Structure 1
Amino acid sequence: MSEETEDILNMVESLRVTSDEPEKCLDRILKFLLIEQDEEDLDQALEAAVEKGMLGDLYDIMTHTSNGTLCKVIQILAELGKTESIREPCVIQGFIPILLQQLKSDDITMATQACRALGNICFENDLGRNAVDENDFKGILLFLPFQTWGGRHTAPQTIACGFLILLNVTNTHDGLMQKAVDGGALDVLDEYIRYHQEDHGLCNMVLLTVGSFIDSEICRQKFSESSLLSTIVRLLDTHAGEVYQETVLDLLINLSEWDEVKDLLAETSLSNNLIQIIQVNQGKLDPESQQLIKMASDLLILLLTGDKGAEAMFANGEGPVFVESVKWLEDEDSRLQMAAVLAIGNFARNDNHCQRLVEEGIVEQLLELLKSHRDHEADMTLHHAILSALRNLAIPARNKPALLMAGVLETVLLLMSSETMAVVFKLLGVLRMLVDGQETAALQLGTDRLFMDRLVGWCEVDEHAGVQGEGTRLLASLVKNGRSVELMRNVIKCQGIPPLVAMVSSEHLVMQNEALVALTLICSTVLDEAALPLKQSELTETISSLLGNKSTLPEILCNTLTLTKTLCNAVSQSSPNTLSCKLLVCAGRATDIPQSLRDEIMTSGIPDIARQLSSHEEEKVREAANTFLAIFDDTTLER
């Protein structure tokens, strides 16, 4: 038995012996709890005392004693509540109702200690929070001490205790959180931030309590309706605001996860405050300054993810945030470089902004930054951010020629060897946006055998669905926009047919349509070369499955029927390309693969399904089905 355990057990025994006059024993126990000692030894000693019935002894004294003694017992409970393993036994012993009653005491010391005890006992203790919820049957407001003791004129340390209970009792407990919010807790928090800014300890406690409240979904609507948000932002403008910068930034970062609050923040002076914080700390290398730069820039980017924030901060290319972002592109601080690229990527979510950004020469700056970091795999986050910005800039049709002329295509291909799938995903996105409607760019990529081999490899990356999908979409886009025999033959040589056929069965309508269009173009142009891989990729089974599925959308049915008709029509209208091919087929030494594929379609039941679709409720489907059947029936008559 340790010395601490022996001491506390002796005190508990003395408490029982002198139960009629326990004050001296209580003083000894309190002194023991308050002296500095090893925390683990103290916890073990207290656990042993609780096992010996210490809490029952304290409960008996609480229920049969004067106010002076009661206050000492409550102070002891406040200290005991610091030990995790004792919190639930305190609840089970029945202390919560007594402590709640003492919150209404006119004795400030008594109420303060009751606050401490409740706060400590309920810290990370759902049993305690539930007990508060169950026993507070009269709807006692958890911040009642503030009102009873005179509001903001009460001693700060007493108020801090009130916020301790508000924080610890309501944290993660929806029922108590709802009661506190409905009772006006947010207004109380607002008031104390406004009137106690000079008391750093108290104001930090209030901000900590706000942080607990904003983690709750329950508070979202109430928070956006209160003045607390603007009060917290204004705190950065005060002469004492520097003390609270990190705490306030942390709060606002959490709040900005909510779209409605994000939009409200965008309408305040917050963005200017953030720029000022960054400027003041720019160039400083100490950890605190670097942390403030990171938090301020992170918060700026969060605000920019909202449409209102992006519009307000762009301000037709003259907003302070936009102006500073452009400067940061050339800053030596990697954090600011990253913030600049992310900011530009968010500004570029608007077509008008995109045009202005291109005119301002932002594309060239992004490319220079990418070139300077292209050989550093460790900079993959920056690569990802630059590619995201370039993709957004490439979306408007009027920007595409300018980006191609600036050399975006050649520069981003420098990352083609990247093994980071997140970077590859963004790379493919940039390329797909660039070739859309740009025949020359599509031909440049689609006829590059090295790139096409790499692209088809990405189409088969099972471990990253995004890369697989984006890769196949780019493949289909190259076929659609290039419309070149050479390009389509390159797709076939690089084994690009299987991914396109697989894409027809995608769960995404857009991807299905893109694949069907690409395959239709290939069948109408280079069917002789494509027939074998189409057959091997089980195109017939894919077509049959789509047409026979009652949940297939009319648009997909029409495009699938068009593909089938095109394939069959191409076979019936074509002949072997050379005399040698004819002789080989006649001699039985080669197979007419296109004809074999067509026969497979005709005998697979697809015509029967088409006949059923000729009675479809959608006129376009009926027309597509009848057009396909006309080819089938004509062929039957010829035979």
Structure 2
Amino acid sequence: MSEETEDILNMVESLRVTSAAPEKCLDRILGFLLVEQNEDDLDRALETAVEKGMLGDLYDIITHTSDGALCKVIQILAELGKTESIREPCVIQGFIPILLQYLQSNDITMATQACRALGNICFENDFGRNAVDEHDGILLLLKLLREHVKTTEEGADRLRTIACGFLLNVTNTHDNLMQKAVDGGALDVLDEYIKYHLQDHGLCNMVLLTLGSFIDSEICRQKFLESSLLSTIVGLLDTQTGEVYQETVLDLLINLSEWDEVKDLLAENSLSNNLIKIIQVNQGKLDPDSQQLIKMASDLLILLLTGDKGAETMFANGEGPLFIESVKWLEEEDSRLQMSAVLAIGNFARNDNHCQRLVEEGIVEQLLEILKCHRDHEADMTLQHAILSALRNLAIPARNKPVLLMAGVLDTVLLLTSSETMAVVFKLLGVLRMLVDGQETAALQLGTDRGFVDRLVGWCDVDEHAGVQGEGTRLLASLVKNGRSVELMRNVIKCQGIPPLVVMVSSEHLVMQNEALVALTLICSSVLDEAALPLKQSELTETISSLLGNKSTLPEILCNTLTLTRTLCNAVSQTPPTTLSCKLLACAGRATDIQQSLKEEIMTSGIVDIARQLSCHDEDRVREAANTFLAILDESTLER
């Protein structure tokens, strides 16, 4: 038996012997509990004492005395509640309803110790929380908190802090008690505590921690928005003592910014100016606390920008403080601020008018310079990703595309084609797709580059990243559509680009289906001689049949699929029988045979019968497309 265990057992035994006048024994036990000692040894000693009936002895005293011993027992229970294994035994012994009664004590010390005991017993202990719930403990606690909002007598400040701690421990992750606390007006009480006791740092920090627990729950969202807490919390950053609360407030606001409604509200007040000031004050400081504040403030600014109103409000026609600071941060050596600047630019660039202003301000050239400096390091992939995201957004407006191409964006981002980081590749493909949209010269530059198209087709088959796969095939289709060059299309065929385009036709996304159908239609109308074999091997006929025969296929897809089928059959009909110049196969006759075989597959696959059914479709455009296809077949049959 350890020395600690022996000591506490002796004290408990003495308590039993002198139960009629237990004060001195209780003082000895308190002294034992409060003295600094090894935590594990203390826990084991207390567990043994509880097994030997210590809680029963304390229960007898607390239920049969009304003198000074009472407060000491409650204080002992508060200390015992720190040991996890003793919390449930305290509940089983029946202490919860007794302790709740003493929350209403006129003796501030008694009420404080009752709060301590209840708070410790309920810490991460749903058994204790449920017991509090059964005895309407939340209502009693809220009554206590209200009564002492402005109390000035000695000990009231500590009581307020301890009571808030009890509220935190009893409601944290407990939905039923959280709901009762919110319905009972807990948020308004906590708001009052901050307003009246701003100088009490311990209390305000406890209130903020409690609020942090509340806002993690969906339960209090609407009540929170209805209260004035948001402006109160933000207002803390404007106070002279605001520095004390900065980290806690920022953490709270970051969590709040996950709600879109709150995000927009925060973007409309002075918060962004306060955040910029925090960054400026700590800029250049290397200590962990300053760096953490810079990170949290910049993270929060970016979160605000992702809201519907945030980017518009903080851009302010290019005059917003955050936009002005972001331009400066692009030139900062501090990598965190540079990253924040790039992310801010990317979010500002979600608006076409903003994009034009950003391009006029020379932001593109700055982004390219940063990218060139960070293109060779895998460690910089987060920055690469952010820059590519910004460039993609800037490249969306049609009027910006030629400007970005003239600035050298295409050649610069192509330096990243060797990246093995799929997140970077995903953004790279997005930039390229935006750049070539409507830009024939750019499409030709990429589409006729054998090395690039080989790499692109490889990305179309990346199973581990669906985003890269999707963007890859979309870029491939876009090159065909925007380049409209026989040389480009032949390059795509040689690089095995037909299979991913056929697969893309069956995409679950309407836009991707259409893009693939348009690309394949262009290829069939221009270079079917070289495309016939890979189209046949990719089971294009089965794909067409499946789409046309599916009753859920949208009219637009039906029309484009029929156009592709008609184009293919028409191209075969117009192909001279013996004069083909075949570069893909051994002889012209063989190429013609494959094209003819592809057409015969269509004729015998049931597609013609489906087309006849579609000629009676409810939609005019589908009927017209089906009849046009059938007419082409009839003409080719007559010619034969």
Pairwise TM-score range, normalised by the shorter structure: over 0.9
Please give the per-residue CA displacement for 1:395-436, whole angstroms capped at 9, x wherever unaligned.
111111110110100000011100000000000000000111
C-alpha distance in structure 1 between counterparts of 2:590 and 2:524, whole Å: 24
Question: Which has the higher mean CA deviation after the structures are superposed, 28-37 or 459-468?
Answer: 28-37
- Indicate the residue corresponding to 2:124 in structure 1: 124
The match for 2:201 is: 200
> Structure 2: which amino acid aligns with 1:368?
E
Q: Give the direction of change, closer, same or farther, for the CA distance of 1:595–1:31 in structure 2 (3 Å limit).
A: same
Q: Distance in 2 between matches of 1:38 and 1:294?
A: 37
The residue that corresponds to 1:58 in the other structure is: 58
Contact 1:607–1:629, Cα closer than 8 Å, also in 2: yes
The corresponding residue for 2:164 is 163
Tell me the residue number matched to 1:609: 610
**Letter of the structure 1 residue corresponding to residue 142 of structure 2:** F
Q: Which residue of 2 aligns with 1:41?
A: 41
Which residue does the alignment assign to 1:311?
A: 312
Q: In the alignment, does 2:289 pair up with 1:278?
A: no
Checking the alignment, whether the CA contact within 8 Å between 2:436 and 2:482 is kept in structure 1 is: yes
Which amino acid in 2 is paired with 1:195?
Answer: Y
Preserved CA contact (<8 Å) 1:585 1:591: no
* 1:503 and 1:512 in contact (8 A); partners too: yes
Question: Does residue 302 in structure 1 map to residue 336 in structure 2?
Answer: no
Partners of 2:219 and 2:65 in 1: CA distance: 41
Q: 1:26-60: per-residue Cα shift (whole Å, max 9, x none)?
A: 22211111111000101111111122222222222
Quick check: 2:275–2:298 contact (8 Å CA) kept in 1? Answer: yes
Distance in 1 separating the partners of 2:581 and 2:572:
18
Match of 1:387 in 2: 388
Quote how far apart the aligned CAs of 1:348 are: 0.4
Whether the 8 Å CA contact 1:152–1:192 is kept in 2: the answer is no
In structure 1, the residue corresponding to 2:434 is in which secondary structure?
Answer: helix
**1:93, distance to aligned residue in structure 2 (A):** 1.9
- Structure 2 counterpart of 1:24, which letter? K
Q: What does residue range 65-464 of structure 1 map to in structure 2 within 5 Å?
A: 65-136=65-136, 140-149=139-148, 151-153=150-152, 155-464=156-465
SS at match of 2:331: coil
Q: Which amino acid aligns with 1:559?
A: N
Structure 2: stretches of 5+ with no match in the other structure: none
Q: For residues 429-451 of structure 1, what are the alpha-carbon distances to aligned partners after superposition, in whole Å with 9 as ceiling and x for unaligned?
A: 00000111111111111011111
- CA distance in structure 2 between the aligned counterparts of 1:460 and 1:324, rounded to whole angstroms: 42
Mapped to 1, the partners of 2:217 and 2:359 lie a distance apart of 42
1:26 is matched with 26
Q: Judge conservation of contact 1:119–1:168 (CA < 8 Å) in 2.
A: yes
Residue 385 of structure 1 and its aligned partner are, at CA, apart by 0.3
1:576, distance to aligned residue in structure 2 (A): 4.3
Whether the 8 Å contact between 2:426 and 2:468 is mirrored in structure 1 is: yes
Between the aligned partners of 1:411 and 1:9, the Cα distance in structure 2 is: 77
Instruction: Using the TM superposition, give the Cα deviation of residue 86 of structure 1 relative to its aligned residue in structure 2, in angstroms.
Output: 1.2
Query: Structure 1 CA distance, aligned partners of 2:559 and 2:92?
Result: 70
CA contact under 8 A between 1:146 and 1:159: conserved in structure 2? yes
**Partner residue of 1:14?**
14
Q: Which amino acid aligns with 1:143?
A: L
Corresponding residue number in structure 2 for 1:530: 531
Query: Kindly tell me: are residues 35 and 585 of structure 1, through their superposed partners in 2, closer, same or farther at Cα, counting changes over 3 Å?
Result: closer
Instruction: Judge which range, 606-615 or 362-371, deviates more.
Output: 606-615
Question: CA distance change for structure 1 residues 61 and 141 in 2, over 3 Å: closer, same or farther?
Answer: closer
Could you tell me which residue of structure 2 aligns to residue 4 of structure 1?
Answer: 4
| Cα shift readout 1:84-138 (whole Å, capped 9, x = no counterpart) | 111122122221111112111222111111100111111111111121112218x
Counterpart of 1:355 in structure 2: which amino acid? Q
Distance 1:588 1:428, change over 3 A: closer
Quote the offset at 1:18 in angstroms: 2.9
**Cα distance in structure 2, aligned partners of 1:607 and 1:556:** 17
Change in 2 beyond 3 A, CA 1:281/1:128? same
User: 2-side partners of 1:157 and 1:412: how far apart?
Assistant: 60
Compare 220-229 and 587-596 and name the one that shifted more.
Answer: 587-596
Aligned-pair distance for 1:483?
Answer: 0.7
The CA deviation at 1:153 is 3.2
Count residues in correspondence: 637
Moved more, 465-474 or 72-81: 72-81
SS at match of 1:143: helix
Scaled by the length of structure 2, the TM-score of the pair is 0.96
Distance 1:65 1:9 in 2: 22
Contact 1:78 1:121 in 2 (8 A): yes
Runs of 4 or more, structure 1, over 4 Å off, are 579-582, 584-591
Q: Cα–Cα, structure 1 residues 580 and 452, in superposed 2: closer, same or farther, change >3 Å? A: closer
Q: Distance in 2 between matches of 1:21 and 1:74?
A: 16
Which residue number corresponds to residue 481 of structure 2?
A: 480
Contact in 2 for aligned 1:141/1:180 (Cα 8 Å)? no
Distance 1:577 1:351, change over 3 A: farther
Does residue 501 in structure 1 map to residue 502 in structure 2? yes
SS of residue paired to 2:198: coil
Kept in 1, the 8 Å contact 2:529–2:582? The answer is: no
Alignment partners' CA distance in 1, 2:355 and 2:550: 42
Moved more, 515-524 or 623-632: 623-632
Residue 395 of structure 2 aligns to which amino acid in structure 1? A
Counterpart CA distance in 2 for 1:517 and 1:423 is 28
> Greater CA deviation, 603-612 or 147-156?
147-156
Label 1:251 to 1:590 Cα distance change in 2 as closer, same or farther (>3 A): closer
* Higher alpha-carbon deviation: 54-63 or 559-568: 54-63
Query: For the Cα contact (< 8 Å) 1:445–1:451, is it kept in 2?
Result: yes
- The answer as to whether partners of 1:142 and 1:180 remain within 8 angstroms in 2 is no
SS in structure 2 opposite 1:218?
helix
Residue identity opposite 1:170 in structure 2:
T
Q: Partners in 1 of 2:396 and 2:430 — Cα distance?
A: 10
**Amino acid in the other structure paired with 2:3:** E
Residues 436, 481 of structure 1: 8 Å contact kept: yes
Paired letter, 2:199: E
> Within 2, Cα distance between the matches of 1:244 and 1:287?
16
2:471 aligned residue: 470
Aligned equivalents of 2:557, 2:586: Cα separation in 1: 36
- Checking the alignment, whether the CA contact within 8 Å between 1:141 and 1:183 is kept in structure 2 is no
> Alpha-carbon deviation of 1:262?
0.8
In 1, the alpha carbon distance for the partners of 2:164 and 2:359 equals: 52
Q: What displacement does 1:588 show?
A: 8.0
Give the letter for the 1:75 counterpart: Q
- Equivalent position amino acid for 1:123 in 2: F
How many percent identity over aligned positions?
A: 87
| Residue 7 (structure 1) shift | 1.3
Q: Distance in 2 between matches of 1:84 and 1:282?
A: 43
1:200 to partner: Cα distance:
1.5
Q: 1:361 to 1:68 in 2, by over 3 A?
A: same
Name the CA shift for 1:111/1:349 in 2 (closer, same or farther; >3 Å): same
Residue 104 of structure 1 aligns with an amino acid whose one-letter code is: Q
Q: Is the 8 A contact 1:501 1:539 kept in 2?
A: yes
Matched letter for residue 506 of structure 1: S
Q: Give the TM-score normalised by structure 1.
A: 0.97
Q: CA deviation at 1:580?
A: 7.9
Query: Is contact 1:146–1:152 with CA below 8 Å preserved after alignment?
Result: no
Shift of 1:177: 1.2
The answer to whether the 8 Å contact 1:532/1:593 transfers is: yes
Offset, 1:283: 1.1
| CA distance in 1 between partners of 2:107 and 2:578 (Å) | 105
Contact kept? 2:493, 2:530, Cα under 8 Å: yes
Tell me by how many angstroms 1:260 deviates. 0.6
